[in-house]
Amino acid sequence: MTAPQPPDFRSPKFLHAHIRQTMAFYEPVATDPGGGMYHFFLDDGTVYDERTRHLVSATRFVVTHAILLQTTGEQRYYDGMEHALKFLRTAFLDAATGGYAWLIDWHGGHATVLDATRHCYGMAFVMLAYARAHEAGMPEARQWLAEAFETAEQRFWQPAQGLYADEATRDWALSDYRGQNANMHACEAMISAFRATGERRYIERAEQLAQGICQRQAALSGGWVWEHFRADWSVDWDYNRHDRTNIFRPWGYQVGHQTEWAKLLLQLDALAPADWHLPCARFLFDAALDKGWDAVHGGIVYGMAPDGSICDDGRYHWVQAESMAAAAVLAVRTGEQRYWDWYDRIWAYCWQHFVDHEHGAWFRILDGHNRNHTREKSNAGKVDYHNMGACYDVLLALGAQRAA
């Protein structure tokens, strides 16, 4: 596949068009008239599993439709957002407990729970979905957001540590595992919740989560954000060390999570400034790109071991997308050209290797030589939320969210 001539990646016109073009991959095939969206797609858009539905995909489809609604104002995206929300609340939500199933089988208009584990990571995306839906013009989503927040506070919040626990059984018995990833996405959700509602409790919680992970916990692991912790929030250096298949709890320093935190810190700073946000964002981004950018083959690697060596040189779509967005937010915030240079470099790499110029959307994962070994364009959790969201975050930083 030969990529077309690179456009002006900083142009709001290009960013708006790319969001629409990415969503166009899903629009003809994703909606299940019997409920919700399909979650599993091959490179050409073929749905390869019509029944399995994952909480993360279900919530992210709400967010992507909200993004299209906010950038275009077109009614069909409101309808898609409403369709996705209805499915989230009828198929995944256990109204008696406030919990959401992690994985279900949807068949004949009926949901069979395949995995009832309560994940704070999933709850973070539930809150994000409601926040973005409310911001995009759905008033009733504000109450749903408040209900999900109260459930997270009651079931996952650990006041002594100022962070959320990670996982519980169906009846809310907590496991001993603690993770930064759920707290990072909870911070993302709280930022969006404050934007949508103006309620101080959300932005105050976002600040507390950011401090807890990026300052206190990062201080235990050399200043970088480590992923895994024990029940007392001591660092667990060995969790999933030999399991490279767990996409939600990978071992190692996740290079993309350093840059994603950099982006979130500056989005937080725009709403609730604090002296530590910018220096920390600079440090995380600069260190991540210094260690993680492959100067030979291009792109940002996935994982680094505690000794600084590369433990996974795969290229994941979300790592590139979040890093590109972080570079733009840093460029706008600081006025420094080097961050725009990084933005352009990352985008040029993605344009060449990740954007599927034939069928649409982005490829999910490439190897260290930029080869695609799978026909799966989107499996559980992807739905191109990260790359559409990254474009939206850049537009937000430029003050150009709505298409001209």
Q: Calculate the alpha carbon distances from 218 to 184, 211, 212 in Å.
A: 13, 9, 8
Q: Tokens 């596949």, residue?
A: 1
**By three-state DSSP, how is residue 307 classified?**
coil
For residue 189, the one-letter residue type is A
Q: How far apart are CA 52 and CA 318, in angstroms?
A: 22
Q: How far apart are CA 22 and CA 357, in angstroms?
A: 10
Marked catalytic residue, from 134, 228, 257, 317: 257
Neighbours of 249 (CB within 10 A): 17
* Residue spans of alpha helices (H) in 136-221: 141-155, 180-197, 200-211
Strands 99-100 and 103-107: unpaired
User: What is the separation of C-alpha 245 from the centre of its chain, rounded to a whole number of angstroms?
Assistant: 18
Q: Calculate the alpha carbon distances from 60 to 3, 15, 36, 384 in Å.
A: 28, 19, 12, 9
Q: Which residues contact 388 (CB under 8 A, 6 or more apart)?
A: 19, 22, 23, 64, 67
Please provide the DSSP assignment of 56-94 as one string: HHHHHHHHHHHHHHHHH--HHHHHHHHHHHHHIIIIIEE
65 is catalytic: no
Q: Which residues contact 143 (CB under 8 A, 6 or more apart)?
A: none
| Cβ 134 vs Cβ 197: under 8 Å | yes
Marked catalytic residue, from 18, 39, 83, 386: 386
Q: Tokens 């709280």, residue?
A: 190
| Cβ 260 vs Cβ 327: under 8 Å | no
359 is catalytic: no
**Nearest Cα residue to 377 out of 394, 397, 354, 347:** 354
Helix axes 180-197, 120-135, angle to 10 degrees: 20
**Nearest Cα residue to 78 out of 18, 12, 22, 134:** 134
Q: Known catalytic residues? A: 257, 386
